[in-house]
Amino acid sequence: MQKIPFSLKSPLDDIRCLYADFDAPITGLDCGGQCAAHNPNGKPFCCDICHAVPAVYRQEWEYLEKSTDLWHAWRGDECETSPKNEYDQLSDETPQGMLLLACLGPVKCQRQYRGLSCRQFPFFPYITADFRFIGLACEWEFENTCWVISNLGAVTETYRQQFVASHDRLFSFSQDAFDSYQLYSERLRERCISLRRRIPLLHRNGGYYQLSPRSERMARVSAENLPRFGSYKG
């Protein structure tokens, strides 16, 4: 049987190559070390199950389950301080075709087996109201805790390019994934309208922008003029 070239295969059918093509560090330094100092648990917020529960596509879980002991299906009891209803709530919010996982923690991380959600954190693909994927927006729930969100100028161009290329390929094969992020982008716009704030955006063209949540008009800015949050305002 003739092999199908990778370029014609869905990235979710070849998780190993998907991960290999999206493996660049976000910044040139250990950004987890920058935020861990502000977490009472002493861990990077993105690697602390008490703050972030990663979701992966089921194809990822099939690959990870047979490749590593790093992950297990999230039970909801990994964090002693989690609310009793958290499992039901997060499970209900998880998109169809995905499931929640927990890992062994940052000390035992096996970077080659990080899920796609780990690799893209703290960003998600921003989809405009007229259905265009134009760049990277930030996970707003982590804006007060994640160091990267307050230092977008530190994000490497290699990381940005890999993020865009990987999601371009994903969306070319998965309308469900595109629709999910389109709804998520709409939620971000609604939030920023209510707060009367613009949306910081790392554009796929390499620039930094502030985007109006109502009109989606963009103003190009320098990275230094993007907002900073929480403990990182200074």
Would you say residue 1 has pLDDT above 60?
A: no
**Residue written as tokens 């990277």?**
136
The pLDDT value recorded for residue 9 is: 64
The pLDDT value recorded for residue 3 is: 38
**Residue written as tokens 């062994």?**
104
The per-residue pLDDT for range 77-123, each reduced to its tens digit, is 999 998 888 999 999 999 889 999 999 999 999 999 999 999 999 99
Domain residues for the domain of 196 are: 6-232
The torsion of the CA quartet 138, 139, 141, 142, rounded to 10 degrees, works out to: -70
Asked if residue 20 belongs to a domain, the reply is: yes
Neighbours of 116 (CB within 10 A): 23
The per-residue pLDDT for range 20-75, each reduced to its tens digit, is 999 999 999 999 999 999 999 999 999 999 999 999 999 999 999 999 999 999 99
Asked if residue 1 belongs to a domain, the reply is: no
Q: How far apart are CA 59 and CA 68, in angstroms?
A: 14
Would you say residue 6 has pLDDT above 60?
A: no
Asked if residue 107 belongs to a domain, the reply is: yes
Using CB atoms within 10 A of its CB, is residue 84 exposed (0-12), middle (13-18) or buried (19+)? exposed
The pLDDT value recorded for residue 10 is: 86
Report, as an integer, the average pLDDT of 161-177.
Answer: 96
Our CA angle for 14, 7, 69, nearest 5°, is 15
Counted domains in the chain? 1
The pLDDT value recorded for residue 141 is: 96
**pTM score:** 0.93
The per-residue pLDDT for range 137-165, each reduced to its tens digit, is 999 999 999 999 999 999 999 999 999 99
